[in-house]
Amino acid sequence: MSISPIKVYDARWEMGDFTATEIGNLFLSSCIYADKLHIHTVVISRDARLGCPEVLEIAVETALDAGFTVYLCQDPISTPQSYY
């Protein structure tokens, strides 16, 4: 991939671009960084894209395995709604 699909506030890619392990590692790196900032609670939400249920499951499992408290919105919402 010639450009990074990861931004500070968002991550966008095609499901075939990364394996489930690589996606889990992305979330784990975010958890490690949050832990360094003494943050141990995350809010995870999703939009309506087709790959979101799989990514949501990976994100939740990774955060829980890392010891985080997780607040989850399973229903598809718009990205701006997720910021609130």
Per-residue burial over 4-14, b if 16 or more Cβ lie within 10 Å, else e, is eeeeeeebebe
Instruction: Quickly count: other Cβ atoms within 10 Å of residue 27's Cβ.
Output: 21
Provide the residue count of the chain: 84
Contact indicator for 53, 35 with CB cutoff of 8 Å: no
pLDDT at 81: 84
Is residue 9 scored above 70 in pLDDT? no
Instruction: Measure the CA–CA gap between 25 and 29, rounded to whole angstroms.
Output: 6
Instruction: Measure the CA–CA gap between 10 and 20, rounded to whole angstroms.
Output: 18
40-70 pLDDT, tens digit per residue, is 999 999 888 888 899 999 999 999 999 999 9
